[in-house]
Amino acid sequence: MLPIYLDNNATTAIAPEVLEAMLPFLKQEYFNPSSMYEAAKPARKAVEQARDAIAAAIGAEHASELLFTSCATESVNAALFGAVQANPNRRHIITTAVEHPVVTESCRELERRGYDVSWIGVDRQGQIDLGQFVRELRPDTLLVAIMHANNETGVVFPIERLARVVKETDPAILFLCDATQSMTKLPINLGGNFHYVDMLAFSGHKFHAPKGIGGLYLRRGTRCRTWMIGGHQESGRRGGTENVPYIVGMAQAVELAATTHDEDRKRIESLRNKLEQGILQKISHVEINGGGAERMPNTLNVAIHFVEGEGILYQLSDMGICASSGSACTSGSLEPSHVLSAMGIPFTAMHGSVRFSLSRYTTEAEIEFVLREFPEMIARLRRLSPYWDQTHNRPR
């Protein structure tokens, strides 16, 4: 039996349309797009068509502002370290306490190299402290690195407002947005609401393209050093033979999302709300992490008091339900989530937090199955939980 897959913020299934579009470039059109002979022309054309399509979908002014990478991790590294190298006179960076490890660990590395990093806190709902953000902007601020939507809670940051404040304070400060969770799911228009964003990172596998392909938007004129020295590919900024099938697949995934976006969004949000309401009704002592903030329509992070998150995930897994306790990278560890601790979620609630993330392939029957089995499972775990006993004064 196929698992019930509710971990779409970790990765998504490849859409059949995407696989279909990729196949010719895995089979007969295998040529190197840089080769000069006639046979390689379709591969070259496919890469440029994909670039045009994705650049247009995000409102880029020029297709050349979009570079293909292997994943969002590469894109963020390239943007952060490339910007640091190209702007040696400034040494202050602003980020938040709830970023994905690609940003937090890169910023920690910059701290070790002598850069000054301001870590902006969030409130109990996971929303950014705007006052602190504005106060941290300094004459030597080089870059702001902030996510659009949080991978653990789905909380959406007001990128338009933040980027505007930055540029109105000092147009030379670079604004990097990690849009890995929001790409194709929330409106992103680099000529509109994201007009003040200089750099934008994303990964194809979060929106039904394969793993191993990503993108970095670099606004024309942004000072950022080349990161992958090699051939002339990607305007000489990122050497390496292009991954033609995956590039084609990612463009197909972007186009697919554009045509189905409104319908998908409504359906996914209503399934997420059904799951959320059902859990709130059927299980006592639960709260929705980030529930009071604007959130991604597909994400539900729920704190279940008096049980261990690890136990919940194992039990869910036994029932064929895939969920997670946090980001894909940290869910393998027992460390409490840095996102939930930055939000001030109490220790016991943090340990019993589970993230369900839906996609266009999630069905109503799957949500109903979870709503039938999950409350029972929590009741069983609580009967075994010493925390539950202590709080409810039952002698063991």
Q: Considering beta carbons, is residue 156 or 381 the nearer one to ligand PLP?
A: 156
* Residue range at the interface with ligand PLP (CB under 6 A); choices 66-74, 116-124, 231-239, 254-262: 66-74
CB of 385 to ligand PLP, least distance (A): 30
Judged by CB under 6 A, does residue 180 bind ligand PLP?
A: yes
Residue 329 annotated as catalytic: yes
Residue 296 touches ligand PLP, criterion: CB under 6 A: no
- Tell me which of 107, 177, 224, 329 is the catalytic residue: 329
Q: How far apart (Å, rounded) are the C-alpha atoms in residues 153 and 301?
A: 5
Q: Provide the token pair at 116.
A: 């000054």
Q: What are phi and psi of 223, to 5 degrees?
A: -80, 110
How many angstroms separate the CA atoms of 360 and 111, rounded?
Answer: 40
Q: How far is the CB of 357 from ligand PLP (least distance, A)?
A: 10
Q: Contact between 71 and ligand PLP (CB under 6 A)?
A: yes
For residue 245, give Cα distances in angstroms to 17, 250, 259, 315, 393. Answer: 13, 9, 21, 38, 61
Instruction: Rank residues 95 and 203 by Cβ distance to ligand PLP and give the closer one.
Output: 203
Order of strands, sheet of 353-357, starting from the edge strand that comes earlier in the sequence = 286-288, 299-304, 353-357
Cα pseudo-dihedral 103, 105, 110, 116, rounded to 10: 70
Q: Which of 96, 127, 151, 337 binds ligand PLP (CB under 6 A)?
A: 151
Question: Which of 233, 327, 331, 353 is in the footprint of ligand PLP by CB under 6 A?
Answer: 327
- Does 268 participate in binding ligand PLP (rule CB under 6 A)? no
Q: Which is nearer to ligand PLP, 10 or 312 (CB)?
A: 10
- Residues 6 or more apart whose Cβ sits within 8 Å of residue 284: none
What separation in angstroms does the CA of 285 have from each of 246, 348, 375, 382? 45, 11, 12, 11
Residue span 181-220 as binding mask against ligand PLP, x where in contact by CB under 6 A, dash where not: x---------------------x-x---------------
Catalytic residues: 329
Q: Which residues bind ligand PLP (CB under 6 A)?
A: 71-73, 100, 102, 147, 151, 178, 180-181, 203, 205, 327-328
